[in-house]
Structure 1
Amino acid sequence: MIQTDKLRGIISERGYSQAKVAERIGITPKTFYEKMAKGVFGSDEIEIMIQMLHIDNPTEIFFAAK
């Protein structure tokens, strides 16, 4: 399960909007918000976010235990 609160914080800290992240990973902002609500992203989308947002420890955000 993705830690969406942490992900939102990182997006904000890096100066991006969720819509901009959605554009970069190739989905609509609406789809991004839906995926955030469910806490589920594809591996390709996760990889792009890790690179784009310079996430040093992706495990604690993208592969966290409940």
Structure 2
Amino acid sequence: MIRTDELRGIIAKNGLSQSDIASVIGITPKTFYEKMKNGVFGSNEIQIMIDELHIEDPMAIFFASR
């Protein structure tokens, strides 16, 4: 389960928008918003976000348990 609230905060702290991240990942903003809503990203997409957003503890965001 992805903690989308945390991910949104990290995106904002990096001075980026969700559309910016969608572009970096190579998907449309609409697709990104759907993935955020469903809490499902592919492993390649997750790795790109970890690298681009300098996420230090990806387990807490991308592999969080409820």
TM-score, structure 1 length as denominator? 0.99
Q: 5+ residue gaps in structure 2?
A: none
2:49 partner letter: M
Matches within 5 A, 1:5-20: 5-20=5-20
Q: Which residue of 2 aligns with 1:30?
A: 30
Q: Gapped runs of 5+ residues in structure 1?
A: none
Letter in 1 for 2:44: D
Report the equivalent of 2:44. Answer: 44
Over the matched positions of the two proteins, sequence identity in percent amounts to: 65
1:8-66 deviations in Å (ceiling 9; x for gaps): 00000010000000000010000000000000000000000000000000000000001
Q: RMSD across aligned C-alpha pairs, in angstroms?
A: 0.3
Q: Which residue of 1 aligns with 2:53?
A: 53
Which 4+ stretches in 1 moved above 3 angstroms?
none
Q: TM-score w.r.t. structure 2 length? A: 0.99
- State the secondary structure of the residue aligned to 1:10: helix
